[in-house]
Amino acid sequence: MNRSAQKPILEVIACSVEDAVAAEEGGADRLELISHFELGGLTPSINMIVEVLSAVTIPVRVMLRHVEDFFVTDEKMRESLLASARSFDELRIDGLVMGFLCNKNGRTEIDHRLVKEVLSAAPNTKATFHRAFELLPDPLQAIAELKRHSQIDLILTSGGSDPWAEKTERYEAWELAARPEIAILAGGGIDFDAARILRRSTSIRQFHAGTVVRSHESLDGVVKASRVRDLVKLLEPIPKPR
């Protein structure tokens, strides 16, 4: 199949029921539900999850991150994360959004123990490994390791701090390495120009939108259906040349 003709998937960050409804109205395919956008996204309340699930029909993935740190060393915190995962699994969400790291011999690695425990606590969900991925020293090795966990089907990453046009080869290599078990979800500062570049120059077909679809393009803005609609239109399949 011509990859450029594949329908892109747009995931929108939602911090409220209003955000969720506007994202769906604008044509978003999936939501990432979070609290504390200003901290990069933390776990939302169970009440918020229930309200959003009642208000929309598109899939909802829920952030599982109780504190800013990706390194969870406290056993009480680990147990709290597992308890949340069990509760969310009972709600039949589409998936968790998580990323846990550890240090071994001075090297940052995936905390496979905690990842496995969380996924076992939520066996009915899929999972996105979020931007903790960007702290791992060997992205290709990390992708291979994440394939150990069959529930993980997405890796969310900004691709690094370089200009978007300079990240296309990197994104393409990661996307090819991740297939078929995992897809790369491009996000972290995505704007219309970045989406256009990645859409035309890579096989990335999943996009994660935050401030770009909000009023004033700010963290404290609300999701605007019109902005989502414009981004959906930009990402539409590219016609095959005659």
Three-state DSSP class for residue 108: strand
Cβ contacts of 104 within 8 Å, gap of 6 or more = none
Judge whether 42 and 65 are in contact, CB under 8 Å: yes
Residues 41, 17, 205, 115, Cα dihedral to 10°: 40
**How many beta carbons lie within 10 A of that of residue 197, not counting itself?**
20
Give the C-alpha distances (Å, rounded to integers) separating 140 from 113, 133, 172, 184: 20, 10, 12, 12
What pLDDT is recorded for position 162?
92
Asked whether residue 25 is assigned to any structural domain, the reply reads yes
Asked whether residue 92 is assigned to any structural domain, the reply reads yes
What pLDDT is recorded for position 54?
98
In Å, how far from its chain's centre is CA 91? Answer: 19
Average pLDDT, the chain: 95
Inter-helix orientation angle 168-178/192-201, to 10°: 60
Domain with 168, as residue range(s), is: 3-234
Each residue of 109-122: pLDDT tens digit? 999 999 999 999 99
**Nearest to 189, CA basis, from 17, 70, 13:** 13
Asked whether residue 242 is assigned to any structural domain, the reply reads no
How many distinct structural domains can be found in the chain? Answer: 1
Each residue of 130-164: pLDDT tens digit? 999 999 999 999 999 999 999 999 999 999 989 99
What pLDDT is recorded for position 237?
79
Q: What are phi and psi of 95, to 5 degrees?
A: -175, 170
Secondary structure of the chain: what % helix, strand, coil (to 5)?
Answer: 45, 20, 35
Asked whether residue 240 is assigned to any structural domain, the reply reads no
pTM of the shown model: 0.95
Asked whether residue 164 is assigned to any structural domain, the reply reads yes
Judge whether 99 and 133 are in contact, CB under 8 Å: yes
- pLDDT of 2 > 50? The answer is no
What pLDDT is recorded for position 172?
96
Judge whether 158 and 184 are in contact, CB under 8 Å: no
**How many beta carbons lie within 10 A of that of residue 222, not counting itself?**
15
Tell me the pLDDT band of 241, cut-offs 50, 70 and 90: low
Tell me the pLDDT band of 202, cut-offs 50, 70 and 90: very high
Judge whether 83 and 53 are in contact, CB under 8 Å: no
What pLDDT is recorded for position 1?
38
Poorest-confidence range of 3-7, 44-48, 64-68? 3-7
Instruction: Report which DSSP code applies to 202.
Output: S
Average pLDDT, integer, range 28-50 = 97
Burial class of residue 161 in the structure, from the number of CB atoms within 10 Å of its CB (0-12 exposed, 13-18 middle, 19+ buried): exposed
Asked whether residue 239 is assigned to any structural domain, the reply reads no
Each residue of 54-68: pLDDT tens digit? 999 999 999 999 999
Give the C-alpha distances (Å, rounded to integers) separating 136 from 145, 147, 176, 220: 11, 15, 18, 29
Asked whether residue 163 is assigned to any structural domain, the reply reads yes
CA angle 208, 209, 214 (to 5 degrees): 165
Asked whether residue 213 is assigned to any structural domain, the reply reads yes
List the CATH number of the domain containing 80.
3.20.20.380
